[in-house]
Structure formats: structure tokens, C-alpha cells
Structure 1
């Protein structure tokens, strides 16, 4: 087979990637500043970013892959910051991006598994099924007839990710030196460690198998089987799930009953494994959830499964159950048990944290609750913004970052689904998995 140019590889070199991001940041920053100026002048611009700027974001972040692409995926989930058109453009980063050539795919497979795809599989699609931040997925068929999805890592993405983390680490280090209150080194280290671990698909295979056990009490959820003899450090082969990803399923205009069913499954998929087994799926973008024809929800992408310390889980479990029982919480004591440190007067800290829990727990208290008009994430953002200086003195433990990423993404996905129903009962069902 004739070789193909490596024109779809992630750009290499720390300073090359920094230059690309710097140019993009200047372009985006200029537009955001203009939008802010219009707000100050009394007008109400309809969008934070134009469609043209969103297209530039998709092109640049999709080309860079890695941490940069994950940033674009996160932006596309926030319904309060961007217009539907801009979010739809950024959503292309959730499972679509410029693909690497088949020659590159074949080379990685041979390097990792000892033979090219044509020998290892009865069928192997030359076209990518989906492209993600660290690798792209191809449909294939095993020699025994089983349909599988083969995720192949982009060549050089490990170095690219390392360069991105070095660049970001320099920014964090510089900011942290200005003030102890602004010291984010522990959070950055947690983020860096978790992200770099995703590069080892052998670890992801192990996490997928473990997560399958964690959702065993939830038969409406499904984790695909790992094909161990077709997996390695940079190649992961899983059972192929049929259905529509969450973001595609929403466009089929399902009725409220269907949307409520899927919303219930999302809540169970997030909180069930956390409360029962102390782990959570911490990459909640809607490309990682599949609505299957038989009504089950398929879960995808297990590189960011986060396992928490026993103390963190126990304290959060207690807080969850007390909130469900509508008890008055000793907020400060529970947060300290979780691992928070507080450097402001206790009364101030308690008031701030109590408001956070009050906003975040709306759907756990009210029945019915309408996620179509849900303002939880917007109100939390406004609360943090209004009290930014004081919140900087209330520091969660580093491991909480991945918990917040998962639960914040869940709220965004539930808002996207827009279902109306008795969600309090759903949370009660999840809480019953682990009684106190």
C-alpha cells in the first residue's frame, strides 16, 4: 500500500502548539472583548462568539487534538454562553474532527498488535466512524463475526499532550506566584495526571471492565465488552454498540416520556457508580452516551473514569442522603470532611456553600422539575462570579475537580434533553442503591 502524507497528525513541538493557541486566543479574545463592550454600552448582542469564529475554533482545535480539542468539547456543552448555531458548530468536536489517514491507522495497529488491520480483523473500515481528542474509531468485524469498534491513538499525541501540559503548567505556575490565594498548582497537577493517564488504552480497558461491574445493579445501562487480544497501549477494541449518541438522538424530536427515560438513565449513570463503587465517568460530553434500540443506554469512552478516596465518597454519600431526606445540613462540617479548606469566617463560608447546595439540589427537592427551563449552571456561575474573591479562599480537594466535571456536565446534558418529570423520585432510586 502506498504511503500517505502525515498531514493529519497533531502539530508537534511545544512552541508550535503554543503559537497556534496564542493566535487563536487573540482572535477569540478580541471578539469577546467587543461583545463585553457592547454589553457595557447598553446593547444586548445575541452571541458571545460569531459563527465564523466558531468555525476557526473547530478547525484549529480539531487539528491540534488532545487537551485543546477537549476544551472545545467542553465549550460546546454550555447552553448559556453560546447561541444554538455556534454550539452546533463546536459540537463537531464531540465526535468529528479532521481524520488521520488510513496509512497512519494501519501503521499504529501493526506497531501495537503485530499485524495490519487486514490480518487481525475479517473486516476493517478504512473510514473513521468517529474522531475524538486522543484517537479515532473504526468499525471492524472479528473473525468470529462479532462487530467491534477499534479506537486507534493519533501518532505523536502523547508528545503533543505533554507540550500542552507544559505550556499550561507555566501559566499556572506564573499565576500562582502572584498570590497564595491564586495558587492552582494542586488542581493543575490533578488535571494533568488524569489527562496523561488517558493515553494508555490498556488502563482504559481495565477501567471499562471495572465500570461494567459498577453499573451491574443498573440493568438499563450497558458497558461494551473489551476485546483483550485486540487491544494494546495505543489500540483499544470494544464491542460495537448500535444506536444514536445522545447529541444525535436529541435531534430526532423524542417526546417527553422518552426524554425523561433517557434523563433518568444519565442520572443513574453518573451517581449510581459513584455512590455504590466510588467511581464516576468524568467525561460527560454527549458523544459518550448512546441511546440503544432496546432502550438501554450504552456508555462509551472510559479513559477518564475517576476513582475517589474512601473519605471523599463517604462524606459525599452522607451529604447526598441527607439532602434527599430534606434535612438541614451541617454544610461546613460536611465540606471539611470531603476535604475543603476554608480561609474566611465560618459564617460567610457556610452561607456561600449552603447557597451552592441549594442551587445544585433543585431537582432533588422539587417534583415535578422541568429541565427545559433549568438555570442551575447559570445561577451557580453567577453565584461564583459575584463572590469570586471569597470563593478563592474556599478550596475543594484536588480530586473534586473530576467530580465537578462529571456532575456539571450531567446538568448540561439534562438541560439539553429538557425533560419534565419527577426527578426527585429518580434521585431517591439512586440513593436506595446504597442505604445509610
Structure 2
């Protein structure tokens, strides 16, 4: 199992350095098949050693002819066909469990998983999510979303701007750079609050590998948001109710909390309310 270098940059850091990377020859074939031309006509250089590797793809650093550094997310060859086989097997097992155990009520999980993985396997929709998020945060001086190179992006290949940074939970790095961890936490909180309460378009995989702290930026640092494969569109009713929930928590309004809990399908016991309020 390979380890990803501590300092790296990519547009694909959902890759949590846990997977064995695919041999570059197979990755090269995917690139040629998707980009449709000799790679040397497009890239000045293309690193064979991946920056990171995970379950559905790996990312490589490259330099375009105009000297622009990019990160290329490449889907593993044959993955889509394998996923179809695996999800069919999951459906069969789930239905079999339901037949033997009628009280089983989790068949919906398979459908949710299949929908999510189908979205993740389509890098074009991921690129669209990325651009939408970049536009949402265009006036936010703290948040950066890497630029998408659409001419080098397909369903299986995603080419984006190469951005430097460290994982948001790397406190030692923050201290070395004299970046205040409390300020980083505040900006992180505000970024997701803006997603939830203002845009209603929420990143679905916000682990530390998908949020880099870059030393670049007008204010000493910026947060680089990566991996836009999964997003949740929040409707206005949910967002309003969620606002009311936080208001009730702040005001210690037990009746409102209980009512909103029912709205969200969560039963809040009297003992819990007593502790909260």
C-alpha cells in the first residue's frame, strides 16, 4: 500500500491513500481513449507516479503545453462494468434477505448507494458540480475551487487546476506556517454554513482530504475544496426548518425543538430536552 506524500495538491483528494494504484500503462490507455490523441501533443509532462489512489480513480500531476500545472483524475479501466455486476449482486442479496426476514427494512440503502456511485462515476457531472460551487463562492475570498479544463474532461477523465495545500486537520503544518487553526476552523464552519443556508447545494463528502489549507490567498491562507462528485440539493423547506432548529437550540425552546424533531423524523425524548434546555 503506497503512501501519498504529506504535501501534495490535487483536485481529487477524496483519495485517502488507501488503495493500491493502477499500473500507469492502463491509466495511459484510458487517457488516450478518452482524450483521443497522442498525450505528448497535449502535455509537456505527465507524472507516471500518482499523487493519490482510491476505490474508483487515481490522480496524476501533469503540465500542459502552456506550462499550466494540472491534476488529472483518471477512472480505473473496466470499473463501470464491474460496478454494474456488483450492484446487481447487492440488489439480489437485499431482496433475498427481505424474503427470509420480512422485518428487514433497509432495502432502500442499496438504491441510495447505486445512485450515489453512479454519480461518482460520471466525471462530467462532477465537473459541473465543481463549476457551480466555484460560482457560488466567487465572492468569498477564503474559498477556492480548482478551475475545470473542459477540453480535457470526459466521463472517465477530469482535468483540473493543480492547487497546493495540506489537509485541513494538519495542525502541525498550520503552526509551521503561522496559520491560526481557530481561524481555519471558523472559515471552514462558515463555508459549510453558506452551502447549507444560502446556496442549498451541499458537498457530500467533506472529509479532511477533500479540504486543503493553501498558504496562498489574500488573507494568508485559503481553503481549497476538492472532489465534487457527490452533492445534495437542499430544498427551501428543509433549510428554513434547519434555521429554526438552530434558533430553538440557541433560545432553549424545548417545544420548538420537539416539533422540529418530528418534522425531521427524529423523536427527541423528554430527558434529552431537559438536558438541552
TM-score normalised according to structure 1 size: 0.54
Paired position in structure 2 for 1:351: 269
Q: Judge conservation of contact 2:51–2:61 (CA < 8 Å) in 1.
A: yes
Q: Judge conservation of contact 1:209–1:226 (CA < 8 Å) in 2.
A: yes
The 2-side partners of 1:330 and 1:175 are apart by 39
Equivalent of residue 76 in structure 2, options 149, 154, 165:
154
Paired position in structure 1 for 2:211: 289
Secondary structure of the residue that 1:122 maps to in structure 2?
strand
Hey, which of these two has a bigger chunk of helix by percent? 1
Paired position in structure 1 for 2:242: 316
* Equivalent residue pairs, number: 262
Paired position in structure 2 for 1:300: 226
Q: Judge conservation of contact 2:146–2:162 (CA < 8 Å) in 1.
A: yes
Paired position in structure 2 for 1:219: 141
Q: Judge conservation of contact 1:177–1:183 (CA < 8 Å) in 2.
A: no
Q: Judge conservation of contact 2:120–2:126 (CA < 8 Å) in 1.
A: yes
The 2-side partners of 1:204 and 1:95 are apart by 20
CA shift, 1:178, in A, is 5.8
Q: Judge conservation of contact 2:15–2:52 (CA < 8 Å) in 1.
A: no
Paired position in structure 2 for 1:10: none
Paired position in structure 1 for 2:10: none
Kindly tell me: are residues 183 and 96 of structure 1, through their superposed partners in 2, closer, same or farther at Cα, counting changes over 3 Å?
closer
Kindly tell me: are residues 147 and 358 of structure 1, through their superposed partners in 2, closer, same or farther at Cα, counting changes over 3 Å?
farther
CA shift, 1:103, in A, is 1.5
Secondary structure of the residue that 2:71 maps to in structure 1?
strand
Q: Judge conservation of contact 1:214–1:276 (CA < 8 Å) in 2.
A: no
Paired position in structure 2 for 1:113: 35
Q: Judge conservation of contact 1:319–1:329 (CA < 8 Å) in 2.
A: no
Hey, which of these two has a bigger chunk of strand by percent? 2
Higher relative contact order (CA 8 A, sep 6+): 2
Secondary structure of the residue that 1:150 maps to in structure 2?
strand
Paired position in structure 2 for 1:270: 192
Unpaired runs of 5+ residues, structure 1, are 1-57, 60-91, 343-348, 366-436
CA shift, 1:318, in A, is 2.6
The 1-side partners of 2:109 and 2:246 are apart by 24
CA shift, 1:149, in A, is 0.6
CA shift, 1:148, in A, is 0.9
Q: How does 1:132-143 map to 2 (within 5 A)?
A: 132-143=54-65
The 2-side partners of 1:237 and 1:112 are apart by 12
